[in-house]
Amino acid sequence: MKQETFIARHEREWERLEAWLKLKVPRKKDTDAGVDARRPLRAEEFPHAYRRVCQQLALARTRAYSPQLLDRLQVLVQAGHERFYRTRRPEWRVVQRFVASGFPSLVRREWRYIAVSALLLYGPMLLMVLLTRYKPELIYSVYPPEMVGQFESMYDPTQHTQTIGRDSASNLAAFGFYVMHNVSIGFQTMAGGLFAGIGSLFALLSNGVMIGAVGGYLTAVGFGGTFWTFVSGHSAWELSAIVISGGAGLKLGWTLLAPGRAGRASALVGAGREAALLALGAFLMLVVAAFIEAYWSSIVWLPGAVKYSVGAAMWVVVFTWLGMGGRHAAR
């Protein structure tokens, strides 16, 4: 085959590959060269295009084509090799895309499990707030007396001049403790789904009962103002993360019970991947909650109105993010 015929036959695919590798800006004449020339090379097409240009370079060498053509193909092969075999580094854009778009979209896609999880957490929580508000002695059916005394000490406004909700530990130490504590709860709530969902069910119900019992009891004994101003700032992130973790666990449990036609093993692999992504997003939310809890919630001198306003704003931020994140990308 003559060199001119060889170039005419493969020129378009070389130019597309050069444009994809950013070796050359597509020329204006390419827009009139046909459908293939107009359409940019897609990432999934790159391996095939790379193999073809390697074969074409070998043919050009065998046929002793001009040095200019050989140099052009050699540059293409070298650039393709570097792109194909390069070591991929972590890209912050991937994390940013997951946080801004991927995670909220996944939460909306799994809304049924997350809605059930929310009912299992918030239902017992509100019920216990009402019960212990009017019958404070019910707290002793949930917590031992010594722990109830610790709660009273933690949220007694007369005993705190620097921080509330914790001892005199530094903010950094408190942040580390809150991260470990919150993440452990989220992990247990999600991993409990592997026991046919029973573990997640128990974790959600028990956390709802315990949180509600503390809130109702402290309100009944006159420490409610301190308690509610403390939890208002970080509750949107923390409680939402627990709900999402519970939804991930319920998804795993339901997949084990009703795997569908695909079979239990393959269905569990798919559900496990989505549950892991939900857990990862919930982990990031729990880190945010821990940061707010350590550096904001424990401040004593801030007025309650300010803390409640910030807490309400946090709920708006969380719901807006989870409700709207990724919608523009989907369109």
Domain ranges of the chain: 3-85, 97-330
Task: List pLDDT tens digits, range 40-73.
Answer: 777 778 888 888 989 999 998 988 899 888 898 9
Task: List pLDDT tens digits, range 179-225.
Answer: 999 989 999 999 998 888 899 999 999 999 999 999 999 999 999 99
Report the C-alpha gap between 221 and 205 in whole angstroms.
24
Report the C-alpha gap between 103 and 86 in whole angstroms.
28
Token code pair at residue 178:
């809150």
Whole-model pTM: value is: 0.72
Report the C-alpha gap between 184 and 326 in whole angstroms.
28
79 residue type, one letter: A
What is the separation, in whole angstroms, between the first and last Cα of the chain?
48
pLDDT of residue 17 exceeding 90 = no
pLDDT of residue 30 exceeding 60 = no
- pLDDT band per the 50, 70, 90 thresholds, residue 169: low
Sign, CA dihedral 76-82-83-85, equals positive
Please give the average per-residue pLDDT across 285-302, as a whole number: 92
Of 318, 260, 265, the residue nearest 288 (C-alpha): 318
Report the C-alpha gap between 132 and 107 in whole angstroms.
33
